Structure 1
Amino acid sequence: MKKIVVTAILLATTSFYAQVGIGTTNPEGALDVVSTNSGIVVPRVANTASITTPINGMIIYDLSSNCFKGYQNGAWSDCGLVPVNPILVQVGNEGDAPNTVPSVVTATQLASVPGVTGVVPANEAAYQAYIDANPALFSAPATVAEINAMITAVNVQAILVQVGNEGDAPNTVPSVVTAAQLASLPGVTYVVPANEAAYQAYIDANPALFSAPATVAEIDAMITVVNATATPITSTTGKKWMDRNLGAKQVATSATDHLAYGDLYQWGRKADGHEKINWTSSTTGTPVNGTTTINADTPANNLFITENITPHDWRVNQNANLWNGVAAVNNPCPEGFRVPTIAELNAEFSAYGIIDSATAFSSPFKFTVPGLRNYFNGSLSVGSYGYLWSSSVSGSNSSYRYFFSGGANLDINRRAYGFSVRCIKN
């Protein structure tokens, strides 16, 4: 009986005054709800797609986003009832499957969306093509995160294509890629703006080192080489040297600077990936590639070759000339550089009084202590010793210099070891 009376009163109020009051006898709007300890619960739906016929003014609680959304101006709002940017609506509509709405969004429109960054006007057509080709990557409406992901993907690909085109043979497309472009590539590190012209020259001079499009690995390798050779050390002996170990990312800031450790090469072997180490601290690193016990004069892969049988060489047939000079068949050094002889290393150690790891680092060479990779199982011994291969041989072994906290000397050892290399200018 009470429910009937209340309903009648509400209907009467609605009929005569077009206002409903709940918790109040003086409603100040079409619906006025007053409470000191409760609230209104709006419809809770799985997501906006659950509403098949939305109309302007509709409010819901979106369970997939855990927020309020409203339908206004023909589109669902973002969380918090914020109006959706019409450009996001446009991109969402253009990212349809099948592609019945070709994308025509402009670079100017994309750049105007708050939160969207990195828009390159020259890539406008590529952005449109990406939207048409990847409908599954866009919501309706699209989100700022989706737009930014697209811009990054397109911009990266455009730069890789550019470098691949510039690395042509014969050189009909001179390289003009900028240091800023290279630095924007995810995965490319240690770009030095002052070396921009050197990067361009390297691309033009080494077309065989770049795919079409180029890869991030190829560009990162170029950066490492150019940075290492751009500012060589001139010794008091008159020789010029790379200012870091082969493969190092930077000039060492300490003897245990892992970013300056570089690669660990098996003697006489070329740069094929066996030498790569992912250094994570001054005492830890992980070989990028694994090991194999299969010896080969011309390895068919990038695996580190272990050998427990004398003469402990990674090859089947020993060859004493693999690193002998700048034109050596397996010279791992950049163009114009080579692996030094033991006499050349000895001369520098003598000239700068290198008697331990401390003096090795305090010298202009800034030598580090990356240790070695063992010939018998490929494991690393890191952080106490520095080992430097020479191009010189002694019988079935090869000559090298080493240093640690308690001393420094020259010696000979098994060629299957992985040691550092410091290149000398020819």
Structure 2
Amino acid sequence: MKNFRSLFTTLALALIATAATAQVKVGDNPTTIDASSVLEVESTTGGFLLPRMTEAQRDAIVSPATGLMVYNTTVPCLQVNDGTPASPEWNCISGIMAAPAEASTNGTGIVSAYGTPGCTAGSISGTMTEGEDASGTTMTIYANVTQVGTYDITAGPVNGVTFSGSGTFAATGCQEITLTATGTPTAAGNHDYSLNTTPGETVTATVAAAIGSYPAGYVHCDPANPTVVNDVTNPATGEIWMDRNLGASQVATSYTDAAAYGDSYQWGRFADGHQCRTSGTTTANATTAVPNAGNPWDGLFILETATDPDWLTSQNDNLWQGVNGVNNPCPIGYRLPTEAELEAELLSWAGTNDTGAFASPLKWTATGIRSPSDGSFAFGSNSKLGFYWSSSVLSNLAWGLSIQDSDAFNDLDFRATGAAVRCIKD
């Protein structure tokens, strides 16, 4: 202790003399000083000992100067502040560096396995939607911890989204970890996210299609100009609809505006191309409602001359009902209206005829119908017939809204008939 006090007394006196001598040496050969040094410490029996402290103690130093050195006992290593007093950046400069992160956690903790068996499989909480910020969505994983310590885990980026989280395991056994999503999904569907650990786990996240986008496999009759999805509200009913028919290139400018007629669907069929007003025809009835499956009737208008024509060999009433209905041709978030919804729309018009139809906020038009017997179009008397499908059925027929020059009402028609579709927002 006496020698220690003597050394620092000498150092203090030497520093006081700095102004006069410009150089200071402590230890052996005090009169021999290297010309390049301001302060020299020489000894063959001892070393130069910097302050030793934990990382927490180091971080408690207020405004540490650039170049300040300490020995970090937490890492452990000799560190220097390569940053600024306001934004310190501590880096190791000694030969002994921090122990490499554990591959199972990217930290100091150790995990024998993630998910099953042993713990619980990972899962996703929250909804991700194509084109929308994924913040608020989380991934929960479970780790079988064998040694407590830190972790730093990510999964992704996949499909524009990364899940990440860090923390400290305070106990062994199965521990829950929450990873938070950042980014914006670029595509709908199922996407696999694998942890950046060994061992790891893969968790599947489902991304919903953007509202207003068209279902996968949708065939647009004019691929360069798919039907624009804009909303219009009927204030009398409060219902929100697309402002034009499926396949229409514009909102109707008159009741007989051909550019606003849109496509002509057989009831319950998907938009596989059969709905195009110039599509070819076939006499081969469909044996399945599944579209685009390589069948000879895909994309063709199916002709049927039976007493109650249906494009399917076996009647199927469970088509087109709701946004998730089988073969729903409407954009995501939209669906076919029910017969009751069409009735409410009809009752809101100033007149139940073609004039009232076009004067309504939805601007209905004379779409005509496509004959199930020969595929030709009929527009009724004075070329004023319009017919719009609903999702409702009765026996072997389906309900729709029929508009004529002097009347308008809900009516039933054959399911093989081609008619217009106006989608309602769910």
* Higher share in helix: 1
Q: TM-score, normalised by structure 1?
A: 0.47
* Higher share in strand: 2
